Amino acid sequence: MAVSLKIPKFAVMFNDSFIYIQMKTLRLLFVAFVLMTAMPISAQRLQVVDKEGNGIPLAYVLTEDGNYIGSTDMDGVLADVKGAERVAVTHVAYRPKLVTVSSLQGGRVSLDDLDYGIAEVVITPKPYVYVEIYYRVYVYRNDSLGYFHCGVMPNAYDIKKKKFEHGSFHSNYVEYYSKLGVAITWSARAMSNRAGEVRMTSAPNKDKMNKQYYVTTDDSNPDHWVFRNPEGRVGQLVRNGDQLRTTLDAGKIQMYANKVKGESSKLKKREDIGYNYQYTLIGNYKDDVKDADFTDFIMEIDHWEYTDKKGPAKYIIESYATERGYITKDEWKEKNKELKAQFKHATTLQDMEAYERQYNIPALPSAVRQALSKLKHL
């Protein structure tokens, strides 16, 4: 039986003209495909805010498994979460939160204040101020956690001599590292000395900042100061309940001062390595924001960043006050002995959790714990 095959009229003339039309169509389709695949994916912007809707600077955004994505700017904004579907958002003063990016309205994440506090300090005529610090040090290499260090640091401030005495932290810590982290262990340890430093929690000195760093202060709102230099906003001070919270982009402040002062070699070095230093300092405040001392210290986060031959490095230090008060010299010596006895043996992260619970220190976010599970305990 013969089969009759009907060919559409437009295809009967299989000639050069037809081939030309088909090739032209294919080229157009190919160009359209290339353009579509080459178009950049829209950046997924995130803004981290408090319960009042104010932006939270220096909030950290991590992937679910603990890789570093970025930190928020002075407006609480992170420009891009780099395609992550779920992110962990953390800050020393707020409860951490794990969120699905696509479910956020306008990319906004609201964090609740951390229910963290320590007893009021009763002023007594004793010669030392005692501040006990629980600290955590994170070191990221190429956005992967390569080093973690936490422990207890006792500090005493001699009021008369205006001098700090730091207790030993070398026997009061737990340490984890990766193969990559070994190469930076000593620099991380040196940086962790910063965790033992206790700062005055008063407002930054406006005159000093303007004279040394060319920073002006808008304090027209007594509950929200803004710090600026000629290149833009470089910090803020916010009253939150009974707390004073100061955040400064110290790297931008320092580098602009280098530029104005003609310190070209120092500026070039900082620019070449992508130098970045920011911190948030939180403490109790009194009627006058300048009227504060070391007993008002509550918590702090410090962030250093640079790039070297091994790639980007980020150092993050969290510090929490666990005890504060006035003591005698003998009481200071006794405190040191107690802590050394408590932490003289090899310590694990689990061992430190009892101390964290005692002083209501926030537990490590699950994302950080996942990253730590890949590291080696020293």
CATH number, domain of 109, equals: 2.60.40.1120
pLDDT digits (tens, 9 = 90+) for 174-219: 888 887 666 667 777 777 777 878 888 888 999 999 999 999 999 9
Closest C-alpha among 76, 22, 78 to residue 45: 78
- pTM of the full predicted structure? 0.85
Look at residue 3 and tell me if it is in a domain: no
83 shares its domain with 183: no
Q: Which amino acid is at 172?
A: N
What is the model's pLDDT at position 182? 63
Average pLDDT (271-275) is: 96
**Surface-to-core class of residue 294, CB atoms within 10 Å of its CB (0-12 exposed, 13-18 middle, 19+ buried):** buried
Look at residue 208 and tell me if it is in a domain: yes
Look at residue 119 and tell me if it is in a domain: no
Query: Domain of 220?
Result: 128-377
pLDDT digits (tens, 9 = 90+) for 340-357: 888 777 678 888 888 899
Query: What are the angstrom distances between the C-alpha of 98 and each of 37, 55, 109, 369?
Result: 31, 18, 10, 13
109 shares its domain with 158: no
Average pLDDT (364-375) is: 92
Look at residue 162 and tell me if it is in a domain: yes
Of 101-110, 167-176, 250-259, 301-310, the least confident:
167-176
Give the CA diameter of the chain: 117
Bridge partners, 321 (sequence order): 133
pLDDT digits (tens, 9 = 90+) for 15-37: 444 444 455 554 555 544 444 44
Q: For the chain, give the percent of residues with pLDDT over 70.
A: 86
Q: For the chain, give the percent of residues with pLDDT over 90.
A: 57
Average pLDDT (154-168) is: 90
212 shares its domain with 333: yes
90 shares its domain with 22: yes
Look at residue 122 and tell me if it is in a domain: no
Average pLDDT (123-134) is: 90
Distance CA 45, CA 101 (A): 9
Of 36-45, 71-80, 294-303, the least confident:
36-45
Of 114, 139, 168, the last residue of a domain is: 114
Of 114, 143, 174, the last residue of a domain is: 114
CA angle 77, 80, 81 (to 5 degrees): 105
169 shares its domain with 265: yes
172 shares its domain with 100: no
Average pLDDT (36-52) is: 72
pLDDT digits (tens, 9 = 90+) for 220-248: 998 899 999 999 999 999 988 888 999 99
134 shares its domain with 103: no
What is the model's pLDDT at position 9? 40
Non-local (6+) Cβ contacts of 67 within 8 A are 143, 144, 145, 371
Number of domains in the chain: 2
